[in-house]
Amino acid sequence: MKPPRGYAPLRRHRVTIPDAAYFITLCTRDRRTGLNTVPVAASLRAQFAALENDGALRLQAAVVMPDHLHLLFVVTATLTIGQIIGRLKAKTRPALSLSGLSWQGNFYEHRLRPDDSIEDVLHYLFLNPYRARLLAADKAYPYFWLGPVEAKWFNPTLDDHRPFPEWLA
Q: Distance (Å, rounded) from C-alpha 5 to C-alpha 72? A: 28
CATH code of the domain covering residue 140: 3.30.70.1290
Q: Give me the number of domains the chain comprises.
A: 1
Whether 42 maps to a domain, the answer reads yes
**Res 77: pLDDT:** 86
Query: Residue-wise over 17-39: b if at least 16 C-beta within 10 A, else e?
Result: eeeebbbbebbbeeebebbbbee
Going from the C-alpha of 159 to that of each of 61, 65, 140, 154, 163, the distances in angstroms are: 18, 21, 10, 11, 6
Whether 52 maps to a domain, the answer reads yes
Whether 116 maps to a domain, the answer reads yes
Q: What is the pLDDT of residues 78-128, one digit of tens each?
A: 999 999 999 999 999 999 999 999 999 999 999 999 999 999 999 999 999
**Res 169: pLDDT:** 80
- Of 4-13, 55-64, 106-115, the range with the lowest mean pLDDT is 4-13
Full domain range(s) for residue 30: 8-168
**Res 2: pLDDT:** 53
